[in-house]
Amino acid sequence: MSSPAEQLSLITPDEPAHAPADDAVRLLLFNAQHASPDRSRRQAAWVAAQEDADIAVFTEVSSTRGGDALVTALTERGYATVIAPQPAEADYRTVIACRTADAQLVESPVALTPHRAPAARVIVGGHDIIVLGLYVPSRGPKEHRNVAKRAFQDAVTEALPKLHAAYPDIPVIVAGDLNVIERGHQPPHKVFGAWEYAFYDSFQGAGLTDAFRHLHPDKIAHSWYGRSGNGFRFDHLFVSTRHADRVLACDYHHQVREKGLSDHAVMTLRFAVAQPPPPGTEASGHGRSQEAR
């Protein structure tokens, strides 16, 4: 029998607002903030209207009515494949939605609460891409402070090299709300421990490159703000290091925070499916226009 995630792929969607690109991966990362059914439908409408959302990764999706409404609305808005693993018990999950039907669920390398870490194999312009979505638990209640967070981070750290080994020649993109910041973050936040910085570092150790930092090594950026107004760069996009030169654009956008659709900024990534020409080689006009937009 098909799983719920696989069954959703069989629903006939409406025509998408934008045709999927065939020369670049256009991915959008969105924290759903355990939205109600009504806000989930508005989130889906906003995301579906964005050109850079051929693949949309949603974190902090509820396992109840709000999450179900998001999945249904994405399908109705033209996402031909919606991967939405349902946890056995109430918990947040991660959803991967693709405008193309050339996408399929693959086994998650993360053994612990894999509904927070679904993986998909997506074909873009005839090229295979692996996408792993992640939603790391928050610190949790005082009596279980950091227990779930640390356990999940350990499971991801163990899984990342396996992901690289399983797909050595295929570009890998990891997108998620990691609930940690990088070393040297501005402003600094003393609340984070060495084990949390080590988790961020583990991505580089597993052969993955921070796509935003690859393009913007010195830029201060935040994706979430605390009650005091201090900013945190919690949301991250990584690509396999051997393919990092294919990153065309990676940025944070705050419209959804300003509209009240989420308390996080969204991230977007444009990633060329083919190897770019060597430096100094004249690129095609189409390639330049894609990168300049």
Q: Is the pLDDT of residue 13 over 90?
A: no
Whose CA is closest to 244, among 221, 201, 268, 213? 213
- pLDDT band of residue 96 (cuts 50, 70, 90) is very high
Q: State both tokens at 286.
A: 């189409």
Q: State both tokens at 245.
A: 């030169």
Q: Tell me which residue range forms the domain holding 79.
A: 4-274
pLDDT of 4: 44
Residue at 280 is within a domain: no
Question: Checking DSSP bridges between strand 224-225 and strand 247-253, what pairing results, if any?
Answer: unpaired
158-210 pLDDT, tens digit per residue, is 999 999 899 999 999 999 999 998 898 887 777 788 999 999 999 999 999 99
- For the entire predicted model, the pTM comes to 0.89
Collect all residues with Cβ–Cβ distance below 8 Å to 108 and sequence separation of at least 6.
Answer: 114, 117, 118, 119, 132, 159
286/190 Cα distance (integer angstroms): 46
Residue at 246 is within a domain: yes
Q: Is the pLDDT of residue 143 over 70?
A: no
Residue at 286 is within a domain: no
pLDDT of 155: 97
Residue at 159 is within a domain: yes
Kind plus residue range of the DSSP H or E element containing 202: helix 194-205
Buried b (16+ CB within 10 A) or exposed e, 167-185: beeebbbbbbbbbbbbeeb
CATH of the domain at 267: 3.60.10.10
Q: Is the pLDDT of residue 267 over 90?
A: yes
Buried b (16+ CB within 10 A) or exposed e, 38-62: ebbbbbbebbbebebbbbbbbbbbb
Q: Is the pLDDT of residue 53 over 60?
A: yes
pLDDT of 192: 80
pLDDT of 188: 74
Whose CA is closest to 273, among 30, 19, 20? 20
Please state the length of the chain. 293
Residue at 140 is within a domain: yes
Domain count, the chain: 1
Q: What value does the mean pLDDT take over residues 111-124?
A: 97
Residue at 240 is within a domain: yes
Provide the Cα torsion 90, 96, 101, 107; round to 10°: -70
Q: What value does the mean pLDDT take over residues 19-35?
A: 97
Residue at 150 is within a domain: yes
Mean pLDDT score of the chain, rounded to an integer? 89
Q: 29 near 96, Cβ under 8 Å?
A: no
Residue at 149 is within a domain: yes
Does a cis peptide bond (omega within 30 degrees of 0) precede residue 109? Answer: no
